[in-house]
């Protein structure tokens, strides 16, 4: 039997909002999780409203699980009209609230969205930065650089 949270996640996956790059973005944030391999990038565009700089729109790209996509979809809708300070104060739990309580194994998906948002807004995380290995794109880009290789064959006679 499917519960209400799962139903809302499935709906957000079927009809995700604000997916894709934003060419005229004012801010971009990227975060990845070496634990699960998910990566999320968020774009933010601001506008002036009543003398305040507020979020006009936000979009995202995700390479990850369905829950991360669903959270990013609802979060980008929630951010509209918020100031950077208001948005940066939102927790992963607040960003995922429209979906209902996430299962404990999926809480990291909301934290991923929160991390991308904070990264875009230039907010320092309270956690130390995680080191990640080079991405496939980094490795492919590095492979196009001319390099010299020295091969040494050590033959020991027995």
- Over the chain (158 residues), what is each successive 10-residue block's mean pLDDT? 80 91 94 84 95 95 90 96 95 94 90 94 60 49 56 62
Rounded distance between C-alpha atoms, residue 53 and residue 46, angstroms: 6
Neighbouring residues of 65: CB distance < 8 A, sequence distance ≥ 6: 36, 38, 106, 109
Rounded distance between C-alpha atoms, residue 152 and residue 59, angstroms: 51
Q: What is the pLDDT of residue 12?
A: 86
Q: What is the pLDDT of residue 31?
A: 93
Radius of gyration of the chain (CA): 20
- List the structure tokens of 109: 């998906």
Q: What is the pLDDT of residue 33?
A: 79
Q: Rounded to whole angstroms, what are the CA distances from 83 to 26, 53, 87, 91?
A: 13, 6, 6, 15
Q: What is the pLDDT of residue 49?
A: 92
CB atoms within 10 A of CB 134: 10
- Residues designated catalytic: 36, 109
């Amino acid at each position: 039997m499917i519960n209400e949270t799962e139903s809302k996640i499935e709906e957000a996956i079927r009809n995700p909002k604000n997916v894709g790059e934003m060419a005229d973005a004012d801010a971009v944030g990227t975060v990845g999780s070496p634990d699960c391999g998910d990566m999320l990038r968020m774009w933010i565009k601001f506008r002036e409203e009543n003398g305040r700089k507020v979020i006009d729109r936000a979009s995202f790209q995700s390479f990850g699980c369905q829950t991360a996509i669903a959270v990013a979809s609802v979060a980008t809708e929630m951010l509209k009209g918020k100031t950077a300070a208001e948005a940066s104060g939102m927790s992963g739990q607040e960003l995922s609230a429209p979906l209902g309580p996430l299962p404990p194994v999926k809480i990291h998906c909301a934290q991923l969205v929160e991390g991308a948002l904070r990264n875009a807004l230039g907010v320092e995380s309270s956690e130390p930065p995680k080191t990640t290995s080079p991405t496939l794109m980094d490795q492919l880009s590095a492979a196009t650089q001319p390099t010299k290789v020295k091969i040494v064959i050590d033959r020991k006679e027995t």
